[in-house]
Amino acid sequence: MITRVYHATLFALYQLCIVIGIVAMPLALAARQAGVTLPVHRLLANVERAYDASRP
């Protein structure tokens, strides 16, 4: 039961990270022109890796 809750929580977190990435796109483009990159891709990769590892 706990593993199902953990898996569902990771799935929700993964989806939330995708939404945050989409919403932050204009900010990321402006930051990129200023020479700064936002580490959203690393956050998404880490959550995706944890989600994949939690699959039964």
Listed by start position, the domains of the chain span 2-53
Instruction: Convert the pLDDT of each residue in 2-55 to its tens digit.
Output: 788 888 888 898 899 889 888 988 988 898 899 988 787 888 888 888 888 887
- Which DSSP helix (H) or strand (E) runs through 35? none
Q: Write down the pLDDT at residue 55.
A: 74
**Dihedral angle computed from the Cα positions of residues 32, 43, 51 and 5, in that order, rounded to the nearest 10 degrees:** -120
**Total-model pTM:** 0.66
Both tokens of residue 53? 């590892």
Reported confidence tier of residue 56, pLDDT bands at 50, 70, 90: low
DSSP code for 14: H
